[in-house]
Amino acid sequence: MAHAVPPLRPGHHIQLLEGSREFFPALVAAIDAARTEVLLETYIFDFTGSGAEVAYALERAGRRGVLVRLIVDGVGTPGMPPFWRDRFEQAPVQWVVYSPVGRFGLLWPGQWRRLHRKLCVVDGTVGFCGGINILDDFHDPNHGALASPRFDFSLRVAGPLVPEMQATIERQWSRIEALGELRQAHWSGALELLRSATARLPARRAARGTEHRNVRAALLLRDNLRRRASIERAYLRAIGRAREEIIIANAYFVPGGRMRRALVNAARRGVRVCLLLQGRYEYFMQYYAARPVFGALLRAGVEIHEYAPSFLHAKVAVIDRRWATVGSSNLDPLSLLLAREANVVVEDRGFAARLRERLVAAMRDEGHRMDPAAYERRPPLQRLKERLALVVMRVLLAIQGKKYL
């Protein structure tokens, strides 16, 4: 059924990975162990610092006969360095660009419908899903070197969700290919030949942290077809059922009316509601457009903590120490109305406890709790910037044919 939230299924092994410093070694180990196929989708593929380690792993896989397919977004990854273009061609690594930006840029209708997912599947048995781009923790494409690492999470998954993730990437590749948007020559080797050529390769595995076993989980996708509201509905359902605690960490938090009302209602019925949000200026629209909605939340008793050491890029939540989600979807109109997103929902007390522990520590040690009185006294210039950001967001949404706030 359209917009339905898929049921949670048992039998998953899931590992929480924080930042590229944990995610990249696990991803590289999986790619280095690949025998037949590596499928990777990412919004940003940046070759600076440790991002290059992933690129070299893809190249190694291609050179030993593994079918490697990479999808990048036309805004997040507007170009590939010639050095890597040549290496990928020689390996070979197939790569395509989702929705390259034309001469009218993002003002053209439909151009804000981006591929924001971060998915990878290796040999159809191991999958990765989260919010982390192929981007070094200590580097930002717009702000340069970072003094502290970016705060973000991903998951390593084995179990029934992996074929769903694989089918998702394969469908996207086929759609791009059908539209003639290939940006790299296809390798003509057949998959069966690849399997034969790599059948005797020794498998290698990454050193692991805590792996949670026999976990119930579901893959939530947001697209512009049948799954336009799956992620938002999953959040609303979990928030509506909360009885004790809601912790949400979100990079670009501009919730619509339904989400705001759900959080306010939860706080009013005695649920502790904590938001860990971006405390450092990154993008004008996302930073300032969020602030006008804080007033109603603060008045209802919602705690708002702003992350201070670096950029917060996480899109995660833990509710009642049992339900959790990790993925690429922000709680803002760009994610919930326009972009292709992927989140994994996990129902497991052990996993939820591990994620909650990290979020609580970040709020306690690395965040500043917003004072409701100080919020009400914010200066006129800041209020003007907030109004301007909201106007810009509404205009962009109108161009895309959407209404949200």
Question: What residues are annotated to the active site?
Answer: 116, 118, 123, 313, 315, 320
Q: Which residues touch 306 (CB under 8 Å, ≥6 apart)? A: 277, 278, 279, 367, 368, 370
325's tokens: 């989600």
Q: What are phi and psi of 243, to 5 degrees?
A: -125, -20
Q: Which residues of 359-370 are buried (b: 16+ CB within 10 A; e: fewer)?
A: beebbeebbeeb
- Tell me which residue has tokens 């994994």: 344
Q: Which residues touch 381 (CB under 8 Å, ≥6 apart)? A: none
Strands 272-278 and 245-250: parallel
Q: Which residues of 151-182 are buried (b: 16+ CB within 10 A; e: fewer)?
A: bbbbbbbbbebbebbbebbeebbeebeeeeee
Q: Which residues touch 246 (CB under 8 Å, ≥6 apart)? A: 239, 263, 266, 271, 272, 273, 274, 317, 319, 320
Phi-psi region of 132 (alpha: psi -120 to 50; beta: other; left: phi over 0): beta
Look up residue 234 and give its amino acid: A
Q: CA–CA separation, 387 vs 181, rounded Å?
A: 38
Phi-psi region of 159 (alpha: psi -120 to 50; beta: other; left: phi over 0): left
Residue 156: beta bridge partners?
15, 128
